[in-house]
Amino acid sequence: MSNPNNKELIFELALNLIPNIGPTLYRNILAYTGSAKDFFDLASGKISKIPRLNKKLAEIRKDKDQYLRQAADIISNCEKKGIRLLTFSDQNFPARLKVMDDCPMVLYTKGQVNLNPNRSVAIVGTRNATEYGKNITKKIIEDITPYHATIVSGLAYGVDIEAHKTALANNIPTLGILGSSVDQIYPAIHKNTADQMMENGGGLVSEYPPGTVMHPSNFPRRNRIISGLSDAVIVVEAAQKGGALITAEIAFSYNKEVFAVPGNLLSTYSEGCNNLIRSMKASIYTGPKDLEESLSWSKENLTATNTKNKIFDLTKYNEEERSVLTILIEKKELEIDQIAILLNVSISSLASTLLNLEFEGLIKSLPGKKYKLTT
> pLDDT of 212-257, one tens digit each?
988 989 999 999 999 999 999 999 999 988 889 999 999 999 989 9
Three-state DSSP state, 62: helix
Q: What is the pTM of this model?
A: 0.79
- How does pLDDT run across 313-330, given as a tens digit for each residue? 566 678 788 888 888 887
What pLDDT sits at residue 355?
Answer: 85
Of the spans 78-82, 263-267, 300-304, 367-371, which averages the highest pLDDT? Answer: 78-82
From CA 187, how far away is CA 179, in angstroms rounded?
Answer: 10
Q: Domain map of the chain by residue range?
A: 6-82, 120-295, 304-373
CATH 3.40.50.450 fits 120-295, yes or no: yes
Q: Are 86 and 92 in contact (CB under 8 A)?
A: yes
What pLDDT sits at residue 1?
Answer: 47
Between the alpha carbon of residue 130 and those of residues 126, 263, 269, the distances in Å are: 9, 11, 8
What pLDDT sits at residue 35?
Answer: 85
Confidence of residue 10 (pLDDT cuts 50, 70, 90): very high
Whole-number percent of the chain with pLDDT over 70: 91
From CA 6, how far away is CA 4, in angstroms rounded?
Answer: 5
What pLDDT sits at residue 210?
Answer: 95
Task: Name the burial class of residue 194, with classes exposed (0-12), middle (13-18) and buried (19+) by CB atoms within 10 angstroms of its CB.
Answer: buried
- State yes or no: pLDDT of 3 exceeds 50: no
β-strand partners of 235: 124, 260
From CA 183, how far away is CA 137, in angstroms rounded?
Answer: 27
* Residue range 67-92: mean pLDDT, rounded: 93
What pLDDT sits at residue 375?
Answer: 59
Question: For the chain, what is the mean pLDDT?
Answer: 87
- How does pLDDT run across 167-193, given as a tens digit for each residue? 999 999 999 999 999 999 999 999 999
What pLDDT sits at residue 309?
Answer: 39
- State yes or no: pLDDT of 82 exceeds 90: yes
What kind and span of H or E run contains 9?
A: helix 6-17
Of the spans 55-59, 99-103, 195-199, 359-363, which averages the highest pLDDT? Answer: 195-199
Domain 304-373 class?
Answer: mainly alpha
What kind and span of H or E run contains 120?
A: strand 120-124
What pLDDT sits at residue 242?
Answer: 87
Confidence of residue 57 (pLDDT cuts 50, 70, 90): low
Confidence of residue 56 (pLDDT cuts 50, 70, 90): low
**Residue 57 region by backbone torsions, left for phi larger than 0, else alpha for psi between -120 and 50, else beta:** alpha
